[in-house]
Chain A
């Protein structure tokens, strides 16, 4: 199977239990490469757990997840994960954070032929690499952008973003959506868990609806099956 024909993610009968609570109940799905997926649903529907399972942070109790034909942990270089918390050290500046995480991925810092990768990604999310303030003093919008910069630092093929627009003003959220659209257009597969589905109208290729740990609907149009969703 060629890279383009291969699905980005294949989920086969995945069940995830936390004690007696089943967060995912037999999820089956296939997601194509280069598409933008918005994962929607009420609180407790299993959206975040599904995303964490894709990232290899939550191991399925039963069933399998295949990322570009590999186990999630084996495919970690292909995955960029942005969680609801920032996953950044508050006491360090944005660049210090990125330089540390770059080392974890074996990305060299300065002096590279293409310039400094950390500076490139910071600029690409609309922040200033010269900013010396610790991340703890950033506004929520800046923190979300820096968190996105960390997730795309190693140029992953698949981006998993959990609530990237939460606590972000409308203008900044719009800019982030534009940024994600550009990444999708450049061939990346993007998954966004959000309660602000309206922001992704006309951008997401597919809206994946979850309820009680299951995918109950996949629609290309935000209001096709769930007319109330457009008002969110």
Chain B
């Protein structure tokens, strides 16, 4: 267990260092999300009331698509110079690699969300009518739902020729329950029409189930040929 966390942290630190130097994932995610915010705000020009109903969907769809960019970068880095083979021949546990990648993606997508949320608020004139603090658990659990499955399916598709198309094809259908919970939960908080409690519990359950499944299956994926 000690080695699991020690290697997880070492791999996470390495990934953050690589991302800090290259900024591959963050730059492309930021640019993509910025485009979505600006284009949709000019296309719809919604009133404040309409914004509250559609913003949840817009925000999460923008983050979902942007996350795919980061998720593809995660494993592409390991394929250059076949560095993944160096990990595979080592005694390091497979799940340490998975956890480090998922945590890394969680940090990158969270940074994106922290930078983009103020822009969404300004462009869509948003103000929550419900308990705004509940947006925090929805953001944390929703982001983890996206990155945990995304990291897993990105690993599954790294050996396929068209991996950048394969990832959304695998990820989006399985993320539907989580996306529905994120969008509905966010909308209910923004409009104040109903409690988001159910959606938070749904996201928590989704995260526990899929994190467990991904951890159970990742070693097979890592050593698959």
Interface residues of A (CB under 8 A from B): 55-59, 73, 76-77, 79, 81, 83, 85-92, 96, 100-101, 103-106, 134, 150
Check if B85 sits within 8 Å of A105, measured CB to CB. Answer: no
Q: List 23 A-B contacts (CB under 8 A).
A: A55-B85, A56-B89, A73-B223, A76-B91, A81-B89, A86-B81, A87-B81, A87-B82, A87-B86, A88-B86, A89-B80, A89-B81, A89-B83, A91-B18, A91-B22, A92-B14, A96-B17, A101-B90, A103-B7, A103-B10, A104-B87, A104-B90, A134-B21
**How many inter-chain residue pairs (CB < 8 Å) link A and B?**
69
Report A-chain residues with C-beta under 8 Å of the C-beta of B14: 89, 92, 100
Interface residues of B (CB under 8 A from A): 3, 6-7, 10-11, 14, 17-18, 21-22, 77, 80-83, 85-92, 223, 225
Report B-chain residues with C-beta under 8 Å of the C-beta of A103: 6-7, 10
A70 to B50, CA, bound (A): 66
A85 to B21, CA, bound (A): 22
Check if A76 sits within 8 Å of B81, measured CB to CB. Answer: no
Q: A76-B91, A103-B7, A104-B91 are in contact. Are A91 and B21 (CB under 8 A)?
A: yes
Report B-chain residues with C-beta under 8 Å of the C-beta of A77: 91
A150 to B85, CA, bound (A): 12
Report A-chain residues with C-beta under 8 Å of the C-beta of B3: 106
Q: A57-B85, A76-B90, A89-B83 are in contact. List 9 more A-B contacts (CB 8 A).
A: A59-B223, A79-B89, A81-B86, A88-B86, A89-B14, A91-B21, A91-B22, A92-B17, A92-B18
